A and B are shown apart, each in its own frame.
Chain A
Amino acid sequence: MSALLEVADLRVTIGSTAAVRGASLTVNKGETHCLVGESGCGKSITALSVMGLLPRGAVRETTALRFAGEEIGRYGERQMERLRGDRMAMIFQEPMTSLNPAYTVGSQMTEVLRRHRGTPRAQAVDRAAELLARVGITAPGLRLGQYPHQLSGGLRQRVMIAMALMCDPELLIADEPTTALDVTVQAQILRLLAGLQKDLGLGILLITHDLGVVARVADRVSVMYAGEVVESAPTAALFAAPEHPYTRGLLTCVPVPGKVKRDEPLGSIPGVVPRIQPGFAGCGFRDRCAQANAACAGTIPRREAAAGHEVLCTLPPGWGGAAAA
C-alpha cells in the first residue's frame, strides 16, 4: 500500500500551549486511519494542520508533510486552497453550524465543483443530487433547494459528507463526525462512511472518542496523548496487544474488540490531560502513569513492538506480560 498522507514530527504551538509535540502518522490509500485520545490531546489541531486550517497565531513545524507523494508543508495559502475541497476534504464535529445559514444546500454544494473544476451550474446540480442520493438522502431535488435550518442534524452531516465528496477527494478527514448526533444516526453515518470508503477507495482519517467505532471501521489506529502519537498499530494488533500504558488504560473498559460498549467515556485513567508548555521534556503521561520511572523524564524512545506497531514509551515491548489488558 502506498502512503497517501505522511505526517512526520508535527509540532504546533498556539501561544504558550504546545498543542502538538512531534506527532507522526501515515494514512495509506484506501485505508481508514483512526485517531483517538482524550479531549484536548491535539487531534483536531493535527487534522487542521494537514488541511492548512490552523487558527490564527498557531505555528506549525514538520520535518515532512506529504500528500500523495508531494511535500505540501511549504505550500502557500493559494496552493492549499486548490487542494482543499478538491483532493482533500474535511467534515466537522458540528453539523448544526457548519453550513452557511444564508445559502441553500444546492448552492453550497455546487460551489465546490464550480470553484475547483469550473463546472457549469446545471451539471454541478446533477452531481450534487447524485451525491445526496449516494449518502442516503431521499428526495435530493427537494433538499437541494432547502436551507440548512430546514434540515435535522443527521441530514446536515450527510450534506456535509456529500459536499466533501463533490470533487472526488483522495483524502477525507472526519473530525468526530458523529459526536453531536443521536445514537441511531451515529451508526448510520458511520456505516455510510465505511461504505463510501469501500466504494470510492478514499483514504479516511477519522478522529473519534469512541473505541467501538475504532474496532468496527479502522484499519489502523493512532493513539494521541498530550500532543504526541504514543502508539500506532493495525487495529487488531492494538486491541490484542496494547503496549503503551495509556492505551492499556483506555482499553481496560473495552476488553474484546467488536464487543465494545458504546458511549463509554474514553478510558478510566485518573487525572486529566495536562496543558503542556513549549520546552517540556520527557513523557507527557508520567504524572498519571503507574509505571513511571526515572527514565521517563528523559528522551522517550520510539520502539517497534511488532511490524507496523510503534510505541513511545521507556518500557520494553511486552512489559508486564503481553496483552495485560
Chain B
Amino acid sequence: MLRFFLRRFAVAVLVALTVLTLAFLLTRVSGDLAVSIAGPNATQADVEAIREAYGLNRPLYVQYFDWLGRAVQGDFGQSYFFRDRVANLIAARMPVTVTLGLVGLAIALVVSLPLGILAAVREGTWIDRLVGLVAMIGQAMPSFWLGLVLMIVFGLQLGWVPISGVETWDGYILPGIVLAFSAIPSLTRLTRSGMIEALASDYIRTARAKGLTRLSILVKHGFRNAAIPVVSIAAVQLGFMLGGSIVIETVFALHGVGFLAWESISKNDFPVVQAVVLVLALIYIALTLFADLLNAVLDPRLRTA
C-alpha cells in the first residue's frame, strides 16, 4: 500500500511540475511579456524599465527557477487590476467555488448512484429505458439555459431560493443543481454499466447462495465493485465543475474563482488568469491522485499492483 502510494504520489508531482513548466513557457513564447505589461502607449524606455523591474532581462532558466520557487510557495505575484496579491485573491474566492463544486458533486451522486443501480437491477425494462432517456436529456441541456430556467421558476416565481449570491447557504442550491446536471448523465451510465457487470459476476451468485439479503448483495457485494470506475469519473467531474463553474458563477453572480477568472480575462489581468489556470490544474491533479488512493482502498488488487 505504501509503495503504491509513493509511486502514485511521485507521478502526481511529476505531472504537476510539467504543468507548471508549460505554464511558464507559454507566457514566454506568446510574445514579449514586458511589452504586453507596459501596454500599447508605452515608450521603449517604459518597456525597458518594466523589463528591469520584473527581472525579465535575466537568462530564461534563472527566471524559470525564480518563478517556480515562488509558485510552489503560493506566490503568484501582484494583480495589475485588483492591486492585491494574486494568492490573496484566489484564497478569498476559493471557498465559494469549492463549496459549489462539492454541493454539485453531492447532488450528482445522490441522484445518479440510485438511478444507475435501479437501471441495472431493472435492466432492459421500461425503468431502465426511462433512466437512459433522463440521462440523455440531461446531457443535451445547456447549463446557462438550465440555470436561467431554474432561477425564473424557483427563484422569481416561487421565491423558494435566492436567485443570486451566497449570503445564505440556500444560495448554493440552484447553481449546485445546474452543475450536478453536467455530471449526472455520465455518472448514471457508469454506475449502471458497472452494476450490470458486477451483478452478472460469479461472486454475486455466491453471495446469493449464501442467503445474503438483497440489500447486502446489491450494495455490499455489487456496488462496492461497481464503484471503482465511478470514483475515478467523479473526481474528474469535480475537476470539471471547479474549472467549468465560470458560466454558473456568472449566471448566479457568485464571487468564486470562475468569476474571478472571467473578470481578469476581461481586464487583461494576466497574472491572475495564469494563477487561476494553474491552481485549477493542480487541484485536478490532486483530485485524480485522491481518486486513485480511494480506489486502492476499494480494490485490494490495485494495492499490490
The answer to the question of B299 belonging to the interface, with a C-beta cut-off of 8 Å to chain A, is: yes
The answer to the question of B202 belonging to the interface, with a C-beta cut-off of 8 Å to chain A, is: yes
The answer to the question of B206 belonging to the interface, with a C-beta cut-off of 8 Å to chain A, is: yes
Flag if B224 contacts A53 (CB, 8 Å). Answer: no
Flag if B206 contacts A160 (CB, 8 Å). Answer: yes
**CB nearest to B228 among chain A residues:** A102
Flag if B213 contacts A101 (CB, 8 Å). Answer: no
The answer to the question of A97 belonging to the interface, with a C-beta cut-off of 8 Å to chain B, is: yes
Flag if A115 contacts B213 (CB, 8 Å). Answer: yes
Q: How far is the CB of A6 from chain B (nearest CB, A)?
A: 21
Number of interface residues of A (CB under 8 A): 30
Chain B 214-240, CB-CB to A under 8 Å as 1, else 0, gives 101000010011000000000000000
**CB nearest to A149 among chain B residues:** B301
Flag if A84 contacts B211 (CB, 8 Å). Answer: yes
* Contact among B208, B209, B211 for A116, CB-based, below 8 A: B211
The answer to the question of B203 belonging to the interface, with a C-beta cut-off of 8 Å to chain A, is: yes
Q: How far is the CB of A281 from chain B (nearest CB, A)?
A: 32
**CB-defined contacts of B224 to chain A, threshold 8 Å:** 100, 102-103
The answer to the question of B207 belonging to the interface, with a C-beta cut-off of 8 Å to chain A, is: yes
Flag if A111 contacts B210 (CB, 8 Å). Answer: yes
Chain B residues 261 to 304 lying within 8 A of chain A, measured CB to CB, are 298-301, 304
Binds B, one of A21-29, A88-96, A253-261: A88-96
Flag if B202 contacts A98 (CB, 8 Å). Answer: yes
Chain A 154-189, CB-CB to B under 8 Å as 1, else 0, gives 000000100100000000000000000000000000
* Contact among B209, B213, B216, B300 for A90, CB-based, below 8 A: B209
What 9 additional pairs, Cβ within 8 angstroms, besides A51-B209, A85-B212, A102-B298? A53-B208, A82-B211, A84-B210, A85-B211, A92-B202, A100-B207, A100-B224, A102-B225, A149-B304
User: 27 A-B pairs, CB-CB below 8 angstroms?
Assistant: A53-B205, A53-B209, A81-B213, A81-B214, A83-B211, A84-B209, A84-B210, A84-B211, A85-B210, A89-B209, A90-B209, A97-B201, A97-B203, A98-B203, A99-B206, A100-B224, A100-B225, A101-B225, A101-B301, A102-B221, A102-B225, A103-B224, A111-B212, A112-B210, A115-B213, A149-B300, A149-B304
